[in-house]
Homo-oligomer: A and B are copies of this chain.
């Protein structure tokens, strides 16, 4: 049994229990959902249907691509349905002879207007759109990585760490002096190592732009790692899975504010790591780090961390919001990324990727604050 089949089997069981006849997963330009890739290998632009009688139907935009990458029982071209989800749903209901009145579950992110349309078109079925349905079940399953995914993360971490070392070396040697050079260096080194690409557009912000949480534009032809604070946030994507690290480069004589930021961010990073343990509430770690910063009258304007996997941001979330009920479990892979930003002094962020095992937290990456 392939890894995709075994994942689908778990969902078929869940569907039987929940009395769901058919479930739709949608990964299109309007709404991306890597659940499709997780369930059948197709990397993008497809609908995937699972039926409680244990059939999977992949409906891809690009059939040549699907023939190579999509591992489902049945393949039907999206073009046969005029690339319209509603026609694909009807086609699937007919093809699989789904009994009238049975439950058909659609993604929880389905727009209100599409939902109305589906309810009207499929009034002969019971169309369901809910928060804690099969899609959330997949989010939960994906949040705990399996043996194969963990092995892949060790590999990605090795590649990421090689590039972290090279970056420090090349910046120290003066070979990378602009945001553009740094970003292109990462692009090239990642592809040479067999990466699919990057997990997200590299954020390389020299001292003139490091005040921003996510620099805009992500990188320019301007100076990087010149006097002051520079932030470099990047991730490699390897067989679909992404790493996500942030380094800070500090050059020259720093102001008291800047020095203080570096110290606090490093301390917050280490403090958060110490709290990582199976059974710990993600929210508590987020709150503790915010409390740590506020003792120094500082505010971190973003979340402390997030799960990584087929998405750069996935479950669990390490934010402090009162609706965050994620609890750490062995197998979870996530970031810790405290940061502080100042309109004049610039910014500092330190981000590492953590794997939680039965034995405790394992810091996969070797990100760092580099003093030049």
Contact = CB atoms under 8 A, between A and B. Distances in A.
Interface in A218-272: 218-221
A188 B184 contact: yes
Main secondary structure of the interface of A (DSSP, over half): loop
Interface string A40-57: 000111000000000000
Given A184-B188, A219-B191, A64 B112 contact: no
Nearest to A197: B217
A75 to B, nearest CB: 14
Interface residues of A, number: 55
Contacts of A219: 191, 197
Contact of A112 (B111, B184, B212): B111
A183 interface: yes
Given A188-B180, A191-B219, A219-B191, A212 B110 contact: no
A79 interface: yes
A169 B214 CA distance: 36
Contact of A191 (B43, B67, B113, B180): B180
Nearest to A185: B184
B216 A44 contact: yes
Contact of A129 (B67, B109, B112, B212): B112
A45 to B, nearest CB: 7
Given A108-B112, A180-B187, A191-B219, 11 more contacts: A29-B313, A43-B216, A45-B214, A63-B301, A64-B211, A65-B213, A69-B216, A108-B111, A109-B111, A111-B112, A184-B188
A6 B110 CA distance: 34
Contact of A183 (B62, B113, B187, B212): B187
Contacts of A129: 112-113
Interface string A165-192: 0000000000000001001100110011
A17 interface: no
B218 A301 contact: no
Interface in A55-113: 61-65, 67, 69, 79, 82-84, 108-113
A61 B197 CA distance: 27
Given A29-B313, A79-B301, A184-B188, A65 B112 contact: no
Nearest to A179: B191
A183 to B, nearest CB: 7
Contacts of A216: 43-44, 65, 69
Nearest to A216: B43
**Total identical chains:** 2
Contact of A64 (B44, B108, B299, B343): B343
A102 B67 CA distance: 53
A343 B65 contact: no
A253 B188 CA distance: 31
A196 interface: yes
Given A62-B213, A197-B217, A130 B110 contact: no
Contacts of A212: 62, 64-65
A108 B213 CA distance: 29
A33 to B, nearest CB: 12
A88 to B, nearest CB: 14
Contact of A220 (B61, B112, B191, B301): B191
Nearest to A183: B187
16 contacts: A30-B109, A45-B214, A61-B302, A62-B214, A63-B301, A64-B213, A67-B343, A108-B111, A112-B115, A112-B129, A113-B130, A180-B187, A180-B188, A184-B184, A191-B220, A197-B219
